[in-house]
Amino acid sequence: MGVAVLRDLRPLFGAIRDQGARPTCLAFAASDCHAALRDGWTPLSCEFAFYHAQRRAGLSPHTGSTLEAMLAALREDGQPIETDWPYLAASPADFSIWTPPSRVGPVYRRAGKRRSDGFDEILALLEADQPTLVLMMLSDAFYSPDSDGVVIAPTNEAPDPLSCGRPRNPE
């Protein structure tokens, strides 16, 4: 039995942005969810959020972030608008010189939190016009759905925690 979400939250969001081949899917999702929870649509700096999350977690700009680090970055460091530190097309080659601009405008913070709500709770948040970030690990089967768009993973295929941001080659 399928469940339908009756709310369309797309008007809360701006245009879809391309992260390219960088492992910044969480930064984009968290940043746009953060922006959608504010009045009006103004994209916030994904680069700023990703930078601060990676620094907090001790991770390089060549790997994906963690939810804990991203939540801490949005809560403690916040984000300026996108034009204050635009997204970089490629990961910086030298981690030591990857730094935010010396001046940015106002910084907006979000005190998000990890929740372990089930499907019904997620639907209730969406029905209450609350943009919600849902994380999941994917397996390789996700990138090869059948002709109906259904993903059927082999029984021995485990989720890949490194799947975010990894380029895929269509077969």
On whether the pTM is more than 0.75, the answer is: yes
CA distance 46 to 96: 19
Topology adopted by domain 12-135: Cathepsin B; Chain A (3.90.70)
pLDDT tens sequence across 102-153: 999 999 999 988 887 788 888 888 889 999 888 877 888 888 889 988 888 8
Q: What's the pLDDT score for residue 107? A: 97
CA distance 28 to 164: 11
Distance of CA 26 to the CA centre of its chain: 2
3 state SS for 109-152: CCCCCCCCCCHHHHHHHHHCCCCCCCCCCECHHHHCCCCCCCCC
Helix (H, G, I), strand (E, B) or coil at 75: helix
Distance of CA 44 to the CA centre of its chain: 12
74 with 67: CB under 8 angstroms? Answer: no
Output the CA torsion 116→18→48→23 (10° steps).
Answer: 60
122 with 27: CB under 8 angstroms? Answer: no
**Is the pLDDT reported for residue 4 higher than 80?**
no
| Least confident span in 1-10, 27-36, 148-157 | 1-10
Domain regions of the chain by residue span = 12-135, 137-171
Average pLDDT, the chain: 88
Helix (H, G, I), strand (E, B) or coil at 59: coil
Over residues 39-61, mean pLDDT: 95
Element (H, E) at 159: none
